[in-house]
Amino acid sequence: MIGRLNHVAIAVPDLLAGVAVYRDTLGANVSQPQPLPEHGVTVVFIELPNTKIELLEPLGENSPIAAFLEKNPAGGMHHICYEVEDIVAAKARLKTQGARVLGDGEPKTGAHGKPVLFLHPKDFTGTLVELEQV
């Protein structure tokens, strides 16, 4: 069901400092910051030959990333994103297997302009999983 790894997301307390590490220290190509108010984050993507790294910074008081950073002040891995061909079919299959879809259970538009869903970390060995339709 899952396809290729789309990205690994890292929550950071300071997006510009995170960008500097990847761009200046590691020599990576980094996208421009993209605010996503509906998700409560500002993101950048670091392009790698085989996948992407997403840096997330809280946007607004109700950001889920703010809560994550309260527990992990230095930042850290937040979630992993896999591609799926049909997000509605993937959701249906996962729910029949007992997996919990976070939020209202309906796909939202993600940073790439494609439908995404998040799955409960307790159902996936302690890792928050994002599915993105390709």
The phi, psi pair for 74, rounded to 5°, reads -85, -5
Catalytic residue among 54, 57, 83, 130: 130
Strand intervals (E) in the chain: 5-11, 29-30, 34-36, 41-47, 52-58, 76-84, 108-109, 115-119, 128-133
Active-site residue flag, 47: no
The phi, psi pair for 120, rounded to 5°, reads -60, 130
- The residues carrying an active-site annotation are 130
